[in-house]
Amino acid sequence: MNNRLVGGLASSGIGLLLYIVGIATTAWLSNAGAESGLWQTCTKGAIRICASYDIDSLNGAYHACRFFAVVGALLLVVGILAGVVHAVKHSLFTRVNKKRTAGGLIAVAGVCGLICAATFTGYYENNSVGSVPYGYSFYLTWIQGLFTIGGGVACFIA
């Protein structure tokens, strides 16, 4: 089995974990009293109360960010599965060669995550007064790009 492919898939798996935690949690914006994410907003206090967004009240930046988040997550899962299938079948049948497809899907998924985070950043940097209180979910989505794009490239050249 190719060590570069295994390393790329492992890196992509870490990227998937960071990606899912980043887009699913509500700490994209975080201050003392509230957190908001891509899907809902929560108030902090003795009791944590969360409410989903009304989809009609969201602006285009949120819609774009949510679109790229979902598409990227789906591509990442499919890319990792394709890479694992290649790793297993390639050791059994030498004609199967899907590592470039898997690597491409994984790298594109990482780029989708970065586009999501960049869209979110651009909207809040242009439409807020003062510094924006970004939370850990926001940073996890940026960091996943390193793991997923690096893993995708490693799978592609394996």
**CA 60 – CA 54 distance, rounded (Å):** 13
**Residue 49 within any structural domain of the chain:** no
**CA 104 – CA 97 distance, rounded (Å):** 13
**Residue 39 within any structural domain of the chain:** no
pLDDT at res. 91: 58
Mean pLDDT of all residues in 9-31: 93
**Domain tally for the chain?**
1
**Residue 50 within any structural domain of the chain:** no
Structural domain for 88, as ranges: 3-24+59-152
**Residue 40 within any structural domain of the chain:** no
3-state secondary structure string, 36-103? ECCCEEEECCCCCEEEECCHHHCCHHHHHHHHHHHHHHHHHHHHHHHHHHHHHHHHHCCCCCCHHHHH
| Each residue's pLDDT tens digit, 34-43 | 898 899 999 9
Q: Residues near 99 by Cβ (< 8 Å), separated by ≥ 6?
A: 2, 5, 83, 86, 87, 90, 155, 156, 158
The helix (H) or strand (E) run that includes residue 106 is helix 99-126
| Each residue's pLDDT tens digit, 106-136 | 999 999 999 999 999 998 888 877 787 898 9
| Each residue's pLDDT tens digit, 41-80 | 999 888 889 899 888 888 888 899 999 999 999 999 999 9
**Residue 32 within any structural domain of the chain:** no
| Each residue's pLDDT tens digit, 90-111 | 655 555 567 788 899 999 999 9
**CA 62 – CA 101 distance, rounded (Å):** 30
Does pLDDT of 81 surpass 60?
yes
**Residue 44 within any structural domain of the chain:** no
**CA 157 – CA 123 distance, rounded (Å):** 36
**CA 54 – CA 2 distance, rounded (Å):** 48
**Residue 33 within any structural domain of the chain:** no
